[in-house]
Structure 1
């Protein structure tokens, strides 16, 4: 991308890479309360970002997953924003998973992983527990930690998924932009300003980056 002399381009951006999984999250929508989704379990691989900017990158990842996870319907959703693709699977019960990847990451692999983790979390943790759990209370859940390592290689991971997954309709799902999933009257800039996931420094960065050179922004 072109990098004009602006503050935004001096701040964190992901290095060019193929087929990378930045983060995986298991989320719970709180539809009745009308509040943001709860991120029950989160695993990250931010190695494509500079070591000194990973704090800001992490906040952006959490903000992006929470923004998308709150608004997607039950079923498959694929949302793109500034070089990132958030591929999700959501149950009618409000439990789901989001896989944040590079845009070229194989869709069927990511969505199948999201479905697998959702169903496994529901089975292992149980609705009686996850319905009342708080943010990041299950970050130690082992399957999500192993998945973010294993699925950095989508070809190898896909071999396993082809055996276990019953889901193969991903090609029929449309890729939406972040604006497509926002509710009527919502604006990403305003959500950024109001987010509790972002520090003041990160908030200024993402707001500035959105107004200048979007390719240099993180989620």
Structure 2
């Protein structure tokens, strides 16, 4: 069973978050849902990076999904979306490794204005595949119990990460990254509390 659904690299810029690189494994969703699910995962990733203070780590649970986020001191950020059985320690080790590799191969001067298609970093698919089995990944990377000085903050819902009074429904209605089809899909998923329960 797939444990990891998304692996994204972003830059927490001012005034907005910049998308750098992403990969998804959405085979467990129906073909017709994949585009909408991917758009929601992108929206959630961008929102949580925007609401995470650098440097820090968070794991945000929502239904059967967890969004693991690491924003470094240089504002380079990574997001892994997993099922809720995937060990946060392994997810954050993956984020550390990916961001270190990304930073060493893509100059930081390009991050604030980068366009995803132009970034020469094609390792995300390999990472997503290699880390699907957390036991193998754990053994392979010889993970230490303590990742670093930074604690992982665990939130039980995405609402806990949003600003006071802010609602996910409002973000969805304002988002330019969601198609009309995805907004309709979101509303249906909210009503039925189905496969997109992680977004609200």
TM-score tier (shorter) = 0.7 to 0.9
Q: Does 1:21 align with 2:1?
A: no
Q: Is the 8 A contact 1:65 1:86 kept in 2?
A: yes
Q: Does 1:96 align with 2:101?
A: no
Counterparts of residues 108-187 of structure 1 (less than 5 Å):
108-135=89-116, 137-138=118-119, 141-162=121-142, 167=147, 173-176=152-155, 177-187=157-167
Residues 147-190 of structure 1: CA distance to partner in whole angstroms, max 9, x if unpaired? 011111111111122268971678x5332121111112321000
Q: Which residue number in structure 2 is paired with residue 213 of structure 1?
A: 192
Tell me, in whole angstroms, the C-alpha distance in 2 between the residues paired with 1:213 and 1:161.
Answer: 40
CA RMSD of aligned residues (A): 2.2
Pair 136,60 (structure 1): closer, same or farther in 2 beyond 3 Å: farther
Tell me, in whole angstroms, the C-alpha distance in 2 between the residues paired with 1:114 and 1:181.
Answer: 19
Q: Is the 8 A contact 1:150 1:157 kept in 2?
A: yes
Q: Which residue number in structure 2 is paired with residue 86 of structure 1?
A: 67
Tell me, in whole angstroms, the C-alpha distance in 1 between the residues paired with 2:192 and 2:99.
Answer: 35
CA deviation after TM superposition for structure 1 residue 213, in Å: 3.2
TM-score between both structures, scaled by the size of structure 1: 0.81
Residues 18-68 of structure 1: CA distance to partner in whole angstroms, max 9, x if unpaired? x610000001111x32x2x12200011001111222111211211121121
Q: Is the 8 A contact 2:37 2:196 kept in 1?
A: no
Q: Which residue number in structure 2 is paired with residue 69 of structure 1?
A: 49
Report the 3-state secondary structure (helix = DSSP H, G, I; strand = E; otherwise coil) of the residue aligned with 1:51.
Answer: coil
CA deviation after TM superposition for structure 1 residue 108, in Å: 0.7
TM-score between both structures, scaled by the size of structure 2: 0.88
Tell me, in whole angstroms, the C-alpha distance in 2 between the residues paired with 1:215 and 1:168.
Answer: 36
Which runs of 5 or more structure 1 residues have no equivalent in the other structure? Answer: 1-16
Residues 94-138 of structure 1: CA distance to partner in whole angstroms, max 9, x if unpaired? 111111100110111101111111121111102112232135543
Tell me, in whole angstroms, the C-alpha distance in 2 between the residues paired with 1:197 and 1:186.
Answer: 18
State the number of aligned residues: 196
Q: Does 1:188 align with 2:174?
A: no
